[in-house]
Amino acid sequence: MTFTHSLKGVWSLFIGYLLLFVLNFLIPSDNPGPGSRMWLLLSLCTVIISVLLLIKHKLPTKRQILFSVLFAAAVFVAYINLSVFNMIETSILTLLASLAVFSTFNRFSEGKLLFLNSKNRRSVAVSLLTGVTAGVLLGYVNLLIGGNASGDFSPRLQYFTVALSPAIFEELAFRTLFYALCLTLLNGRIETKAQRLTVMFMMIMPHVLIHTPDIFINGGVMSGVVSTTVLALLFGLPFALLQQKRDIASAMLAHGIVDVIRFCFAGLPI
């Protein structure tokens, strides 16, 4: 496989993805609908990216393979008693993405993201506190946007297990993996402002766009653009910054807490 070591390669991939996003609206079938189709498309993209990165960088260490299996197992638990298809699909995607991320970071150690800032106990504590604080703040913002801030608080154990999927699967497969892809396309060097902004963009937008097809359809282009911008700035950007500036674990924790809070006030999405 040949990678293009330039920003042009990164942007070419995103433009291709954006084209598919637009073409998705032209498909007349509603089973699955446009939103579900984009989730499937991004999932397919993560499989292709993961496999290509693994072919290029080879498998990671045995210890990292074990961690990848544990991540996949946690996501598997998230869908018990909910959806067998999602349980199997997201577990496989998580495993492949985690292996590809570890493999890429082994190849480009200088540009890698930390899974956990574990230099000492204080560093671990800071990561946990940062993740919890960000999660609670963003969770409250999410309730305000969704109009559920004044609803009844009804916690259930299932809400915490289901939140493992967005916390682990989405952060790894839909965010960290795209960082790993950019790191490879840029030959392990993210140095200029343009490169850093592009990488940040790729960690945010592919994931944000899969949440917006119904908004574009029901509210029009302007509503879709506004919602995309809001989602990118209020949720995508903070999670991406946590991964880059702190560690992946803090982003996972924050993302999981946001969803737990939403589930406790609004229930599980149908």
Q: How deeply is 93 buried, as exposed, middle or buried, from its count of CB atoms within 10 A (0-12, 13-18, 19+)? A: buried
Asked whether the predicted pLDDT for residue 58 surpasses 60, the reply is yes
> What number is the average pLDDT over the span 172-189?
96
Tens of pLDDT, residues 59-69 = 999 999 999 99
Asked whether the predicted pLDDT for residue 16 surpasses 90, the reply is yes
Q: How deeply is 150 buried, as exposed, middle or buried, from its count of CB atoms within 10 A (0-12, 13-18, 19+)? A: exposed
Compute the CA torsion angle 188, 192, 196, 197 (nearest 10 deg). -140
Cα separation, 238 vs 242, in Å, equals: 6
Taking each helix axis from N to C terminus, what angle separates 34-57 and 213-231, rounded to the nearest 10 degrees?
Answer: 60
Tens of pLDDT, residues 227-261 = 999 999 999 999 999 999 999 999 999 999 999 99
Cα separation, 260 vs 162, in Å, equals: 8
> What number is the average pLDDT over the span 30-50?
93
- Label residue 2 by pLDDT band (50, 70, 90): very low
Mean of the per-residue pLDDT values for the chain? 93
Cα separation, 228 vs 240, in Å, equals: 16
Cα separation, 89 vs 32, in Å, equals: 16
Give me the pLDDT at residue 238, please.
Answer: 97
pTM: 0.94
Place of tokens 């989405």: 170
